[in-house]
Amino acid sequence: MREYDAGETAYIEIETRDKYDILEDPSSVTVDIFDTDGVKVSTGSATREGTGNYFYTYTIPATAVSGGTYTTKATVINSSDFVTIKRARFRVR
More confident call, 17 vs 8: 8
Q: Determine the 3-state secondary structure of 68 from DSSP.
A: coil
Number of domains in the chain: 1
pLDDT tens by residue, 45-82: 999 999 999 999 999 999 999 999 999 999 999 877 67
Report the C-alpha gap between 73 and 44 in whole angstroms: 11
Q: Determine the 3-state secondary structure of 32 from DSSP.
A: strand
More confident call, 41 vs 84: 41
pLDDT tens by residue, 23-32: 999 999 999 9
Looking up residue 15, the CATH number of its domain turns out to be 2.60.40.1930
Q: Is 80 exceeded by the pLDDT of residue 4?
A: yes
Name beta bridge partners: 70. 90
* Closest alpha carbon to 48 in 17, 79, 77, 26: 26
Whole-number pLDDT of residue 82:
79
Q: How many CB atoms lie within 10 A of CB 42?
A: 17
Q: Which domain holds residue 24?
A: 2-92
**Count of positions (residues) in the chain:** 93
